[in-house]
A and B are shown apart, each in its own frame.
Chain A
Amino acid sequence: EPEVTQTPSHQVTQMGQEVILRCVPISNHLYFYWYRQILGQKVEFLVSFYNNEISEKSEIFDDQFSVERPDGSNFTLKIRSTKLEDSAMYFCASSERTSGYEQYFGPGTRLTVT
């Protein structure tokens, strides 16, 4: 069964460093998403991406964040200058279509900023 994959599973970085989190969505899916979950808190939407551009973003997704689909398979989330409060699980998801279609989640990347 096709699945969303994410790498790395765990990333430790120092405050101020740039990190890139990588995702490979399901191959025939057209909509891509990033969510994050700070330890003990709810899963929060960050950004949705379709047709090589951002379709919606949350207040969390400020200028420090960017997303890219550099080739036909990868979908990346970049944090330019990490802060302690960026420590969280970051989940990538993809769906075949928007709204009425199920979003499939990857296993997540645990980002620890020290």
Chain B
Amino acid sequence: TQLLEQSPQFLSIQEGENLTVYCNSSSVFSSLQWYRQEPGEGPVLLVTVVTGGEVKKLKRLTFQFGDARKDSSLHITAAQPGDTGLYLCAHRAQKLVFGQGTRLTINP
């Protein structure tokens, strides 16, 4: 089983601050995905990164896939309360294998 470790597990910051959360593994992946999950809902796909070193932007969210395709990061610029949620990285094969997530809270 290819394990994904996410850090930090919890992060609470003030509105307007920047933050980065990480997804790490000792395994090499063909791709990694980032999901966001809000309370009472299922995970929603944000992005898939495929190429080593790839950077994808989704408004204020920047996703990067490590050069060696073993890790990924999510950077949020000027965080807003609406960014609050559980951010999950996952490896996609036939099934999805998730990390344990980073629970992000943005305080107004």
Interface residues of A (CB under 8 A from B): 4, 33, 35, 41-45, 48, 55-56, 58, 91, 93, 98-99, 102-103, 105-108
Contact B94 A55 (CB under 8 A): yes
7 closest A-B pairs by beta carbon, nearest first, are: A105-B42, A45-B95, A42-B100, A43-B98, A91-B42, A42-B98, A107-B41
Contact B88 A43 (CB under 8 A): yes
Residues from chain A with a CB closer than 8 A to the CB of B96 are 33, 35, 43, 45, 93, 103
For A9, give the chain B residue with the smallest CB separation.
Answer: B40
Give complex CA distance A76, B106 in Å: 37
- Can you add 11 more A-B contacts, CB < 8 Å, to A107-B40, A108-B40? A42-B98, A44-B98, A45-B96, A56-B95, A93-B42, A93-B96, A99-B92, A99-B94, A102-B48, A105-B42, A105-B43
